[in-house]
Amino acid sequence: MPTFIFPASFKQIFRYALVLFLTNKNRTSQRWTFLQWLLCLWLLGLQPTLGWNGASYSVYPCDEGGFGSRSWPTLSRIEQPASKTTTLITNGAKGNQRQYRANSTSGPRTVFSQSATFTQEAPPSITVQPLSRTVCSANGIQFSVQADGTDLRYAWQYYDSVGGIWVTLDQFKTNTLTISDNFTPNNEQFQVQYRAVVSNGYGSVTSQPATLTKLPAALITQQPVDQIACSSKGLQYTVQVKQEEDLSYYWEFNDGRGWASLLADTNVYKGYNTGALTIKIDEPTSRQYRVKINNRYCTIYSDSVAFTKLRAIVITQQPISHTICSGDGKGLTYSVLADGDDLGYDWEFKDPGMIQWESFSNFVDTYPDYTTATLTANGVETPGRQYRVKIINDCGTVYSESATFTLTTTPPAITQQPISHTVCSGNEDGLTYSVKAAGDDLTYEWEFKDPATMDWASLGGQYAPLYPGYDTPTLTTNGTEANGRQYRVKIMNSCGSTVYSEAATLTITPAPTITQQPQSRTACSGSTTGLTYTVVVESTGPVTYEWEFKDPATTDWASLGGQYAPLYPGYDTPTLTTNGTEANGRQYRVKINNGCAYSNPAILILAPTPTITQQPQSRIACSGKGLTYSVQADGQNLTYEWEFNDTGSRDWASLGGQYAPLYPGYDTPTLTTNGTEANGRQYRVKVMAGTCTVYSQPATFTQSQCTPTLTNFSASPTSVTPGQPIEFTATVGGVTAPYNYTLSNGAGSDQTGTASGSNFSQRLTAQGNGPQTYTLTIGNSPYTVTGTTVVTVASFAITDLKAFANPVQSGQSVEFTATFEGLIDTDLYKYTLTNGQEPVPLTGNFYGSSFRESITARGAGVQVFTLTVVTRDKGTATAAISVTVVGDDIGLERFAVLGVTAVDCETLSETKRQLRFTPRYAGANGEPISFSVVNELSPTTQPGPYTLRLYIDNPTITLVAQQGNAQARYSYDWLAHCSTSPGSFTLTGARIVDCQLENPNFSQQYRVSLQPSYANQDNAQPISFSVVDELSPTTQSGPYTLHLWGDKPVITLVAQQGNVQTRYAYNWLASCGSFNRARRASAQEDVERLQVKLLGNPITNHQIRVEVKGVTGQHLELTLMDLSGRTLLNQRIEKPGSMKEYQLQTNPAWSGPLLLRVRIESLTGGFQQQTVKVIQEY
């Protein structure tokens, strides 16, 4: 353990320090600390000042470094020491950095020594361990360790998993390990453990291992390269990567403001998210690109590449031609200057007689510089040879202008002499004198000579500023010329040959006087040929004329000479004649004596002439009556006058005056004929706007032999009573004009009149009785056609036909009552009551004037029950009534307007039509129907057809029908029907394919499938079908499925083929009712029909015997009711046979007729039932 000695002299200090030095070999640092401490004690002279008697020495340790708040505890005390030197030997129990000091006391005096620190040397200890790292690139990754201790040394190791040992990395000897790619794979995934070994002279310590986990990164095997081009359009940058799966590419660009992603627009950057980027636009030069590549773990970047745009070729100086007077052209040079990058040159030549240019590359020995900007001739040049250079770079090819080598051997030759001028005084400024000459490399010098001089003087030198162009082919004077001055030009070539032009003289005359100005003209457009404009001039000298014009769209006057001279006779005379191509507002004036005077302008005003846009059309018909001829014209304030011609000559006669009452519209765009037209008559119309007139082309009437056709002649009803109206209808064809008709029964019921259109409809009142044959005769003799139909007129009538329990639930009974006016109790009759849907109608025999019968309602919707009564000698009568049957799936059908039939549309004028139609209804129950058209027809209970006159600016009308408290409306697009030409594509209706309730608990929402039907469709063109507000246009073929609501029973179907669009208003709800009735009837076709027969009626002994057939099924139910529908007796039979007799006992108290309902539930889940009347015998 250490020994602390407190000496009293230097010898003692040295001695004890030496002992410490020699006895503690392994504590070098500690020994030096104690030695220093002893020296400090000696230097400070710490020794007792008293003698040995009464003196004491104490040693105090301090674990707080001498600065704590506690006192120094005493470790040992020596009383009355024998020596002034004291030694403290510690036991090593205390820790590092303990301090010690000593004191000596003598009496009241105490002296303290300085403190001595004990520093204990130890092996290193790690304070911060290296941390594991997960990276994409190991290059530059560092691991660090921190440790306490002195004289520390570091060594790094990695774990060799193959050999199972730690291997030391000799090159790393600091507390930080830096990883480089020199000893790690770059693109593969791996894990390596590293640890640090820290040591000093007292031991070593090993850190915890830190793991380097490198994720796999894509490895670029081919970097993109720089591009140099004239345009970035079509350039491609490509990168290749070793890993080819799960990669994402993101190309970026940098214009000097940092990297940014390219637009995700394939029209600009194709492949912006692939390994190959293609540029589709022209981008700026020096733009940089790189690609960011991601896999599931890491991101890498390619090298950045740059686009350098080459400059296009621009020639800044063209080669210059050479003209020499003698020699062979040797040594002449032809040079070009051009801007651009990477330019290449190829000089070419073409000699006289050559068609193609030829490169000097075939003459490289004699023209070695043909690929430079300057070409030197070799001295064997052909006169007239042309030179040019082809300049090439990656941006394209540009040719210079040609330079010509000319050898001049002939003098200049004047081809056009200067012209003398005669001007008015004061107008001599700015006159020009021009010359044209042939020759090469010519120079010009104009000269003048006044009348008072003999010699010619040059206009150069002092006169040059006053005479622009004095050294060019054209001289301009400055206005200070003397009368009679002459001008000529001296022309020289480079060889010295000279030629002089003829002299041109300036003559100044007094100004003329205009005594008559040209007059403005007003004419119809298209009638301006031959118009004349005249001026009258007085002058003492010669007079020249030059007419000029100016249009409204121009600002300058232009001469009518030159190119216009052949079109304007007299352009240089006092009278100008126009050629008919004048614009409205054009002005004319005449320039006299080269501008000495100008006339006032004369203006041409063109009045608008009408333009016919649609000519009248010829007509072929068997009658000329009521034919129309129409014209359409553009213009303002137009008037019309129709004319005719029967002779084919040029003599046309007006239809006004005496003919006006016979030809309505003779002064309008549409003429209507009166029927007295001769075959071959022609019509034309004169259209006028003020005084301007235009005639239409003639239209010809050709009379043909027309025999009408008559089909579908019928009467409704066919069984009537006297006084009852009968509606006769027929289809008439083969006529285009109104025709005569006669309708007769040969017994006094006759009607004659005139009708038009293809749908014939007239009404007669029944008279007499028995079968009657009605004959309809159509046409004008000798072209007539007839048809017949039979109507039976009875001597009695069915009145007051009623149905009780209306509406009625399907499966319940309906009682019908009626009164037969004209029958008595002795009149026997046979009756049939049917709705046209049951398999077997209800029939029977009875007598008297009253009727009562019951029938079981089936199906759903509005059903029309018809009662037919046949007597022996009073004829046959029928009546009908509607019953609304509430079914299980569709519900109560409402009264509705389904559409219209029997439509006839006739054109009355360009904007007016006559429409005849008959509405179609659903839910009619026999009650009177009040029909009206909003704003067009007042309410009426008369049945159709109805005739309206409508204007085309109101293409849709609203039909309103009222039955009892139920009102129905229908929006009818009548103009669409009128506009459909015969044979054009038409939507004629639709057929229900399926109709189901969407929700059985809610009877207003349906799923409807329908198939439209068409007429005159072109199978080669697709049909676009849609439903307004329900189905978007589609060219898919039907059927089409719609989801519809019962509160909107009518939908608008739209079909388009080519340019033809057609619409149809369709009552789908009424069609659903008909469809479901037909479906249920079809489902019952294969079921054995129920037959009920009373075995004795009236019954006896209050016992009903009934025979039932066709009852093979699950359940048979017999229900006896009174006439009010109250159940009196009910019997249910399980699984009955196909035919059996059943007996029911009645109660004598049940008075009056009874109703027996027989109901069978079939094996398929359907129902059949019949109700018969039971009469009790009292």
CATH number at residue 85: 2.60.40
How remote is the C-alpha of 181 from its chain's centroid? 57
One domain for residues 603 and 567: yes
- Distance between CA atoms of 217 and 223, rounded to whole angstroms? 16
Segments forming the whole domain that contains residue 534: 513-607
**C-alpha–C-alpha distance, residues 353 and 305, integer Å:** 53
Looking at the fold, whether 83 and 102 belong to one and the same domain comes out as yes
Domain count, the chain: 11
CA atoms within 13 A on the CB side of 1169: 25
Domain termination site, one of 562, 580, 607: 607
pLDDT for 732 equals: 85
Q: Is residue 81 located within the same domain as residue 112? A: yes
* 393 shares a domain with 349: yes
**Do 601 and 737 have their domain in common?**
no
Vertex 271, ends 270 and 274: CA angle to 5°?
A: 175
Amino acid letter, residue 357: W
Co-location of 1076 and 1097 in the same domain? no
Is 904 a domain residue? no
The backbone torsions φ and ψ at residue 975, rounded to the nearest 5 degrees and listed phi first, read: -70, -30
- Grouped pLDDT means (10 residues each) for the chain, 1178 residues: 44 45 45 46 41 42 47 69 67 63 77 76 90 86 92 93 90 90 59 93 92 85 88 86 81 90 80 86 85 86 88 91 79 91 91 91 86 86 89 90 84 91 74 90 91 90 88 86 89 86 87 89 74 88 88 90 88 87 86 84 86 90 81 90 83 87 89 80 90 88 77 84 84 74 79 82 82 82 79 82 78 84 82 80 81 81 84 82 67 65 70 84 82 90 87 84 82 72 70 78 73 82 90 90 82 85 78 61 50 82 83 75 76 75 82 79 62 75
* 192/158 Cα distance (integer angstroms): 7
Pairing mode, strands 783-793 and 719-720: parallel
Q: What pLDDT does 963 receive?
A: 87
DSSP output for 765-787: E--SSEEEEEEEEEEETTEEEEE
Residue 382 in any domain: the answer is yes
Strand ordering across the sheet containing 276-279: 236-238, 276-279, 269-270
Q: Which residues pair with 667 in a beta bridge?
A: none
- CA dist 442 → 414, 472, 496, 1013 (Å): 11, 10, 10, 89
Give the residue from 309, 343, 371 where a domain finishes.
309
pTM of the model: 0.31
Query: Which among 899, 1172, 839 has a CA at the least distance from the CA of 1049?
Result: 899
Give the side-chain half-sphere CA count within 13 A for 143. 31
Can you tell me the distance from the alpha carbon of 592 to that of 424, in angstroms, rounded to the nearest whole number? 10
Are 932 and 991 in a shared domain? yes
Give domain status of residue 897, yes or no: no
pLDDT value of position 76:
66
| 1122 lies in the same domain as 1051 | no
φ, ψ for residue 860 (rounded to 5)?
-155, 155
| Distance (Å, whole) CA 769 – CA 773 | 12
User: Could you tell me if residue 620 is inside a domain?
Assistant: yes
Strands 210-214 and 133-135: parallel
Q: What is the C-alpha to C-alpha distance for residues 712 and 730, in angstroms, rounded to an integer?
A: 5
Looking at residue 92, what is its pLDDT? 56
Asked, for residue 905, whether it belongs to a domain, the answer is: no
What number of residues does the chain have? 1178
**230 contacts 209 by C-beta, under 8 angstroms:** no
The 3-state DSSP class for residue 911 equals coil
Q: What is the CA radius of gyration of the chain?
A: 63
If asked whether residues 992 and 1073 sit together in one domain, one would say yes
- As beta bridge partners, residue 1143 has 1105
Are 177 and 231 in the same domain? no
Look up the CATH number of the domain holding residue 300: 2.60.40.10
| Alpha-carbon span 999 to 1002, nearest angstrom | 5
Residue 1029 pLDDT: 86
Query: Is 903 among the domain residues?
Result: no
Residue 773 near residue 612, CB atoms below 8 Å: no
Last residue of a domain, one of 407, 431, 458: 407
If you search the block for the tokens 């707080």, which residue do you land on? 64
- Both 555 and 619 in one domain: the answer is no
Taking Cα atoms as reference points, which of 840, 844, 878 lies closest to residue 856? 840
DSSP codes of every residue in 339-356: E-SS-EEEEEEE-TT--S
Q: Quote the distance between the C-alpha of residue 1112 and its chain's center.
A: 65
830-869 core/surface letters (b: 16 or more CB in 10 A; e: else): ebebbbebbeeebeeeeeeeebebbbbbbbbbbbebbbbb
Domain-embedded: residue 901: no
- Mark whether 362 and 481 lie in a shared domain: no
CA distance 1022 to 1057: 6
Residue 647 covered by a domain: yes
Q: What is the pLDDT of residue 13?
A: 44
Kindly report the number of other CB atoms within 10 A of residue 245's CB atom: 7
